Amino acid sequence: MPRPIWSGSLNFGLVNVPVRLLSATRDLDLHFRQLHAKDDTPVETRRMCSEEDVEVAYEDIGNEYDGVILTDAELSAADPKKTKTIEIEAFVKLEEIDPIYFDHPYFLVPAGETDGTVRAYRLLAEVMGRTDRVALGRFVLRTKEYLVAIRAREQALTLSTMRFHDEVRPTDGIPGAGGRTKKAEVERALKMIDAMTVEWDPAGYEDEYRKRLQAIVRKKRKGGEITAPKEDTQAAAPVPDLMAALEETLDRLQKGEPVLNG
């Protein structure tokens, strides 16, 4: 069980649920130390003054934005009021939230095992699961205020920090967005999507890059020679006949033949 990174209460009307915040994901990437290739000595990162070419102590570092220099004390004037509560402000349907707004996921767990705490937690998790609603609220983590989405997942409560609307770029001006399509091509593409639709199984998808990297580390440890594969620099050519490509894809799917490259 990961260590709690925040503790406080989740307020649902007049109902107060003591909770703790745990990260819902784990970092499984391989992290490498940077070494000087000449003598395998670890490389240090230092803050250097570009004018005097000397190292600058952390307490001597200032902050500049758009030509304005601010001290740490001046920056702290913008810090939100620190509270220990997550106030539920409203409920929305999950399907109404574009996934692009979700940021980092966490677990909300009961802070304590008293009967009142557990009962209130289970009540909120159950009713949110039944209604398929997402609770929107705000809370302060460290020195930043976050908009958050809280929902039930397998009878537990999860919290996802969210991006604000002005942080998400609009689709206006995106090349290829909008415009006309041909009815026959749309119909074939819809049939292709139907034929390729499966039930979501997260265990069916693995980090292939990490697996290859782990295999390389194991081989290197045993003294093996590592050879990088040749890079395929040939870009895929545009489809000369879109309708023909759709028809061939559908035909392969119906025969159970592979349609993906590689």
> Which structure tokens are listed for 102?
């979700």
> Which structure tokens are listed for 135?
């609770």
Strand 133-141 versus strand 85-93 pairing type: antiparallel
Residue 25 makes CB contacts below 8 A (sequence gap 6+) with 104, 105
Which segments within 13-153 are labelled E, that is strand?
Answer: 15-23, 35-36, 41-42, 63-65, 68-70, 85-93, 102-110, 133-141, 144-153
Compute the distance between CA of residue 6 and CA of residue 19 in angstroms, rounded to an integer.
Answer: 9
Tens-of-pLDDT digits for all 262 residues of the chain?
Answer: 788 999 999 998 888 899 999 999 999 999 999 999 999 999 999 999 999 999 999 888 889 999 999 988 888 888 888 788 998 999 999 999 999 999 999 999 999 888 889 999 999 999 989 988 999 999 998 888 999 999 999 999 999 999 999 999 988 888 888 788 889 999 999 999 999 999 999 999 999 999 999 999 999 999 998 888 887 777 677 777 888 888 888 888 888 888 875 5
In 59-182, where does DSSP find H-type helix?
72-75, 115-131
CATH topology of domain 6-28+79-163: Ku70; Chain: A; Domain 2 (2.40.290)
Give the CA distances from residue 41 to residues 33, 118, 218, in Å, rounded to whole numbers and listed in that order. Answer: 10, 52, 22
Whether 120 contacts 15, CB under 8 Å: yes
The pTM of the full predicted model, rounded to 2 decimals, is 0.82
Which segments within the chain are labelled E, that is strand?
Answer: 6-12, 15-23, 35-36, 41-42, 63-65, 68-70, 85-93, 102-110, 133-141, 144-153, 156-162
